[in-house]
Chains A and B, each alone.
Chain A
Amino acid sequence: MDTTINPRPVSAGVEPHLHGDLAIWFFIIAELLAFGVFFVAYAVTRAFNVEAFNAAQAGLNLNLGALNTVLLISGSWCVVRSVQAARADLQVQAVRWMAVALACGVGFLIVKVIEYRAKFAAGLTMDTDTFHMFYFSLTFFHFMHVVLGVCVLTILLFKLRRGAYGSHDVHGLETGAAYWHMVDLAWIVLFPLVYVMR
């Protein structure tokens, strides 16, 4: 709980600096804890039912999952570029990068909905079997995070356009960016764990 409170502009000192607000880092830790426990539960359950899980897993659409991975990693990259641009007071670039990041996020949601529709059309639900319970729970929990992340990015985009961020202040921007990276990170664990690992 011992945190030094700095003035809001980013300190340029040599001291290591945690970007984004400390509050978002508590939130991120809590979120990763929830995801982490869910992942461990999945892994342990799978270890006891490897064959059933492998059989059910074969029905997943790896291509759509991979496409979504690309979209999220690209989105994270764009957010990084946007923050860098904002720090350098390049407002136009910052807005553009953020808009592309937002598009990646929305793209993820669209791809996910397509994937879900195919699953529902095949009559698969959370209650089909244990694998699908995990598949739908984990991906939907993550889906909700992307929805929230898209809302955050939208707010950041509007604030960037209003010129709220620049070399004088990127605190809020970095805070939102940190959350988006967490959403990305969770997917980077989720995708191999649920889609790829056999």
Chain B
Amino acid sequence: MSSTFTTSAARNIFYGGAVFSFLLLLALTFRTEQVLPQRDQRAQLDNPQVVAGKRIWENNNCIGCHTLLGEGAYFAPELGNVYKRRGPDFIKAWIKGQPTGAPGRRQMPQFNLTEQELDDMVAFLKYASEINTAKWPPNIEG
């Protein structure tokens, strides 16, 4: 079987295919934006504590050890559902108690958060735990 194979055809198909795929991604993104309000708990963002908590989460690089909804580093436990696993009081006490100093064990730094900041953090983790994640993680351990 013989055939013709030209660079110009390959190039045109590349550009056509690339534009096509990107438009498809945009269309699916458009649909995503329409559905998100039912899933992403955006009403909770009216609470300034949640917003402040997200900033504290970012400013201390929590994602550098933990995962949040499964994304991040895999060195320390998943925190997307930690509010449900441990509850607010445990979370605050835990952060305050770090580092444990237990020899040979993984250590979490002391971030010197104020009581207000701890509450913000908890509010953020509560918000994260209520996002509709299609039933992920498989169990409470994350």
**A contacts, CB < 8 Å to B:** 3-6, 8, 11, 13, 15-18, 21-25, 27, 126-127, 140-141, 144, 148, 151-152, 171-172, 175
Contacts and interface: CB of A to CB of B under 8 A. Distances in A.
B65 to A, nearest CB: 35
B90 interface: no
Contact of A23 (B1, B2, B10): B10
B5 A23 contact: yes
A141 to B, nearest CB: 7
A175 B1 contact: no
Interface in B64-91: none
B1 A15 contact: yes
B2 A21 contact: no
Interface stretch (B15-23, B50-58, B105-113, B117-125): B15-23
Contact of B5 (A11, A21, A151): A21
A49 B27 CA distance: 28
B20 A21 contact: no
Interface residues of B, number: 17
Contact of B3 (A3, A127, A140, A144): A3
B31 interface: yes
A23 B27 contact: no
Nearest to B11: A23
B24 interface: yes
Contact of A22 (B3, B23, B27, B31): B3
Nearest to B7: A23
B5 A17 contact: no
Contacts of B9: 21, 23-24, 171-172, 175
Contacts of B16: 148, 151-152
Given A23-B10, A144-B20, A16 B1 contact: yes
B102 interface: no
A18 B27 contact: no
A25 B3 contact: yes
A172 B4 CA distance: 11
B6 interface: yes
A22 B5 contact: yes
A126 B4 contact: no
Contact of A24 (B13, B24, B31): B13
Nearest to A171: B4
Contacts of B17: 27
